[in-house]
Structure 1
Amino acid sequence: MLHSTLLSPNSPGFRPDDLFKAADLSAVYEVACRLKAASLAGDTGDRPLLGKNIALLRSRPPEAQPSMLDRAALDLGARVAHVRLGPPIEPNGIQFRGLSQMLGRLYDAIDCASLTPAEVRQIERHAGVPVFDDLESAGHPARAMADLMTLREHGCTPGPYMQIAFLGDPLSRRAENFFDLARAAGIRLRQFDPSGTTDGVEFVVDALDADRWVLHAPRGLIDAAECSENHRFVLRAMLLVTMNGA
């Protein structure tokens, strides 16, 4: 099952719980592909989230450079506010409920990073707007979707003879999400011993470095910038589908 999505029940087309089936994200994948095709054709779109406000709840001040999520939201016309969290508040208390309700009145969506699952769940419960659990993190399905999108663009299409060799920890959040999305797409995965060989397998995901996955296609190593670009399109699609019902 896919982890770390946590979207509000107000979000059209999504389940009001903390775990998603791969089918729930098929619309996001289709929109991401459509956004990329339009971009390659020179169509930058009409900024469909113009006038929308997104709060990024963070425990630290923002970095000097805009994050991937910042850029994805701005691409769609949304305004982004970095809201720095103060001292911890009891998630089940009245004060936390009041904070969540206030955020819901001020913002059209909320992304939570560095919060416990209980805290995110309470914000989701009381804010009344779409709530994400660290949308741009490696453990969110958006990252795994970008990995799969990149491989599919290089010819890894569903079929009885198509498979992906996986090297690394299959129990990491990113790996579990990737496995679920690949299976839902009809693509088989095989876990390989890092000391062995992947001869005969056209597509390889080298996740031995959990922080830096390396993707291989028949023509060789795939540039990491391609996956990063696709991650941005997937983030845009996630925001668009969730906030605009696209």
Structure 2
Amino acid sequence: MKEKLKGRSFLTLKDFSKEEIRYILDSAHELKADKKRGKTHQIFKGLSLAMIFEKPSTRTRCAFETSFGEEGGHPVFLSLNDIQLGKKESIEDTARVLGRMFDAIEFRGFDQKTVDTLAKYSGVPVFNGLTDLYHPTQILADLMTIEEQFGHLEGINFVYVGDGRNNMAHSLMIGCAKMGLNMTVICPDSLTPLKDVEEYSVNQAKKSGGSISITNSMTSGLKGADIIYTDVWVSMGEEEKSKDRVEL
């Protein structure tokens, strides 16, 4: 499995099978346990990571920077004030330049097409640290936390309350569906998940033994919940919609 995953980009959980996600989670549990024992493996010794941030972050930046650095790698933070991404240089050109200098790229920003383009033209693995459509690395951390608390994933009744068409809802649906959780999305009718994400997740849930449901009812949606997960009603870049979301 290790060789099968080597060199691949991590753009969306759609690209990974249940078995591959299982391997990643198992590896993460082992590395975390070793870290608590004061043991590191220097997995990334001699490697460098370009970290591109269009959007500010606390947890995502610190998680990538500390984990890569503690395992011997050299992370380099790049904000839009540091590079010409999509301005004087096209995304394709930026990808080619960074791909020659770095061993991998992490991107946190707005458009999913940007991270897809970086992966297509850089020639190195690219990791999605958040776009408006998906946030797959966060969901890996969430699934890991669920396992730490419950000891398993299959059959867990997971309820998400919030904006159903944001990156967290989409990636949670895909992750829960692939790993056999029963996920309920509670959201207003005007903020339901994208149809293609819903259809994909429902099909994946059928294969894993899980389920995906969407409702606007707090009463029925919360019934039997093992986990209640909430997120902001106004995502980054949508601040002008704050008043409308409060009224919902």
Deviation at 1:27, TM superposition (A): 2.4
Instruction: Decide which of 127, 142, 153 is 2:122's aligned counterpart.
Output: 127
For 1:25 and 1:114, the matched residues in 2 are separated by 23
Aligned counterparts of 1:51 and 1:105: Cα–Cα separation in 2: 15
Which residue does the alignment assign to 2:105?
110
- 2:165 corresponds in structure 1 to 171
Residue 26 of structure 2: which of 27, 30, 37 is its match? 30
Q: For residues 149-205 of structure 1, what are the alpha-carbon distances to aligned partners after superposition, in whole Å with 9 as ceiling and x for unaligned? A: 212221163455x42233233332212222222222222123455642777635122
Q: Report 1:70-109 matches (<5 A).
A: 70-83=65-78, 84-86=82-84, 88-89=87-88, 91=90, 97-109=92-104
Please give the alpha-carbon distance, in whole angstroms, between the structure 2 residues aligned to 1:152 and 1:89.
45
Structure 2 residue aligned with 1:206: 229
Corresponding position of 1:217:
none
Q: What is the alpha-carbon distance in structure 2 between the residues aligned to residue 115 and residue 181 of structure 1? A: 21
CA RMSD of aligned residues (A): 3.7
Pair 1:149-2:144 in alignment? yes
Answer yes or no: is the 8 Å Cα contact 2:184–2:221 preserved in 1. no
CA contact (8 A) 1:62 1:82 kept: no
Change (3 A) 1:205 1:145: farther
SS at match of 1:56: strand
**What is the aligned-residue identity percentage?**
18
Deviation of residue 49 (structure 1)? 0.4
| Equivalent residue pairs, number | 195
Shift of 1:102: 2.4
Unmatched tracts of structure 1, length 5 or more? 1-9, 213-246
TM-score by length of 2: 0.62
CA distance in 1, matches of 2:50, 2:26: 26
- Aligned residue for 2:50, secondary structure, equals strand
SS of match in other structure, 1:45: coil
Greater helix fraction, Structure 1 or Structure 2:
2
Equivalent-residue separation in structure 1 for 2:145 and 2:57 (angstroms): 28
State the partner residue of 1:242.
none
- Counting only pairs closer than 5 Å after superposition, residues 174-193 of structure 1 correspond to structure 2 as 174-191=168-185
